[in-house]
Chains A and B, each alone.
Chain A
Amino acid sequence: MNKKFLESLKAYVFIGPFVILSGAFMIYPVFQGFIRSVYNSKWNRTVFVGLENYKKIFSSDVYLLSIKNSLLFVLVVVPLLIVFGIWIGGSIFDKKPLYVSSVRACLYIPVIASMVVMSIIWRFILDSQTGLVRYFAMVLGYDKAPNILADRTWTLVLLMIILFTMNIGQTVLLYVADMIGISRDLIEACRIDGGSRLDLFCYVLVPLTMPTTILTFITQTSAVLKVFVVIQLLTKGGPNYGTTTMMYLLYQDAFENRDTGTASAMGVLMFMISLILISMRFVAMSRERKEKGL
């Protein structure tokens, strides 16, 4: 009994730092966010306002638009990532290792170069006065370069493209790793039965990478929702609030408008979305475990 106690004690020493740090710098602030979300602390006075901050979010056009934009990004970008991830992964995984790692590296480099740098480059390229976009406009026969960042629809499309290029590397990496692990026999069997590449996708690759697809859906939804840098550096939420997202308004309220109540309420809403994703993850994990017979 004593030995067991000693064993647990040692384990707590090992896991302690993680639990303490995580408690102090994650659980505590999340908890604080809940409390602050029912207070209004404008004008240096903190007043209990109940659900007023939440009501403000759900009754203001700008906030509703930001929620709509965030969901739009998720609904467009995440499925594209999954489809392209499977397609690119499935097309390269059985090629020469050098080719596979080159493609992976090419797609991953934008991630490493960071959102800050990528946003700055795109701003250079798209500047209608000095950017490369003028050249492409000329080639296509326009006399003046369009100011893409002044048009809401084009800016949204552009942001989706950037979000896509910033996340596709990770997705392809996971699918390739998963597909390389698929038993050669299955792929061989598909070939012997006269299956085409398309059959290989439909009957082998897509069904067998389902766990990766679920994981990608969950993690990329979370990744797309928290996007901030590219909006801050490229569009500042504009034109005319057209490209604000939940995260961007949270930042604005928290650090520019000093409206900490509303910012905290937005944080709580985003945390709720995280909770949904977390429960999906747990369901997926327990299902997988059952399938493996554990």
Chain B
Amino acid sequence: MSVYIIPIILIILIIYAVYKKVNVYSAFCQGAKGAFDLVKSIFPYIVAIMVCVALFRVSGLGNVLVDILTPLFNLFGIPSEVCELVLLRPFTGSGSISLLEDIISRYGADSYISRCACCILGSSETVFYVSSVYFAGSKQKNIAPAIAIALVGGIVSAILSCLLCRVI
């Protein structure tokens, strides 16, 4: 079902645009042209943030953080097996997906742990990546409170995911 939603929206869009006498081809090209500038403007910021994240992980500080926070997360009903995922999630999308694959293959796709992990991944975002991309070159520097709030939201959704996977 979900496979059809986007194509159907696109077909309706093109029919509507033609009906409104828009030159669909030239409009598409004009829009696509902007992609270069967009990627060019965000590139340095993604490099900076990703290099920081990689150093943090390679240095072993990431594991230290996991060890410190695991008992705290357990308190809120988050199983130890998914703690690393909760902590990795805000930093890297591809990294947390490969961790999820790992969890699924280790515990089986239908286990409670895997379902928890899937919900955690689905209900959160790569906060640091999103904020570095959105505010690439922005004059608005004071975004720390928003990042903090987003991180709190991420933990709330992790707690709820673990809770809901028990019930549903």
Asked whether A and B interact, the reply is no
